[in-house]
Amino acid sequence: MKRTQSRLLVGLLAAALSFAATAQDKAATPKAAPAGKPGVLATVNGQPVSQAAYDIFLQDQVARGAPNNKDVQNAIREELIRREVLAQEAKKQGIDKQPGFQTRVDMMRQSALVAAYIDSYVKAHPVSEADVKKAYNDAVAKASKKEYKARHILVDKEDDAKAIIVKLKGGAKFADLAKDSKDTGSKDNGGDLGWNTPDAYVKPFSEALQKLKKGEYTTEPVKSEFGYHVIELDDTRDATPPAYDQVKGNIQQRLQQQLIEKQVADLVSKAKVQ
CB 162 within 8 A of CB 221: yes
Express as a percent the part of the chain with pLDDT over 90.
82
- pLDDT tens string 84-101: 999 999 999 999 999 999
The confidence score (pLDDT) of residue 14 equals: 33
Burial class (CB in 10 A: 0-12, 13-18, 19+), 150: buried
Residue 36: band (very low, low, confident or very high) from pLDDT cuts 50, 70, 90: low
Least confident of 6-15, 42-51, 150-159: 6-15
d(CA 115, CA 185): 39
Q: Is residue 182 part of a domain?
A: yes
The answer to the question of residue 170 being in a domain is yes
What is the Cβ-side half-sphere exposure of residue 242, based on CA atoms within 13 angstroms?
Answer: 12
Burial 235-260 (b: 16+ CB within 10 A, else e): ebeebeeeeeeebbeebbeebbbebb
Using the predicted structure, report yes or no on whether residue 27 has a pLDDT greater than 60.
Answer: no
Quick one: pLDDT band at residue 9, thresholds 50, 70, 90? very low
**Model pTM greater than 0.75?**
no
Same domain for 134 and 208, yes or no, is no
Are 211 and 236 in contact by the 8 Å Cβ rule? The answer is no
Does a structural domain hold residue 63?
A: no
> Domain range spanning residue 228?
144-238
Contact 205, 222 (CB under 8 A): yes
Q: Where residue 63 falls among pLDDT bands split at 50, 70, 90?
A: confident
Instruction: Examine the pLDDT at 24 and tell me if it is beyond 50.
Output: no
Shared domain for 134 and 252, answered yes or no, is yes
The answer to whether position 266 is within a domain reads yes
Query: Looking at the structure, do residues 133 and 248 belong to the same domain, yes or no?
Result: yes
Residue 215 included in any domain: yes
| Statement to judge: residues 227 and 248 lie in one domain | no
Between CA 85 and CA 81 the distance in angstroms is 6
pLDDT of 8 > 90? The answer is no
Q: Is 184 exposed, middle or buried (0-12, 13-18, 19+ CB in 10 A)?
A: exposed
| Region 250-262 average pLDDT | 96
- Across the chain, what does the average pLDDT equal? 88
The total of structural domains in the chain comes to 2
Specify the length of the chain in residues: 274
Q: For the domain that residue 218 is a member of, what is the CATH number? A: 3.10.50.40
Give residue 5's pLDDT. Answer: 34
* pLDDT tens column, 131-183: 999 999 999 999 899 999 999 999 999 999 999 999 999 999 999 999 999 99
CA distances from 193 to 2, 38, 161 (A): 9, 63, 18
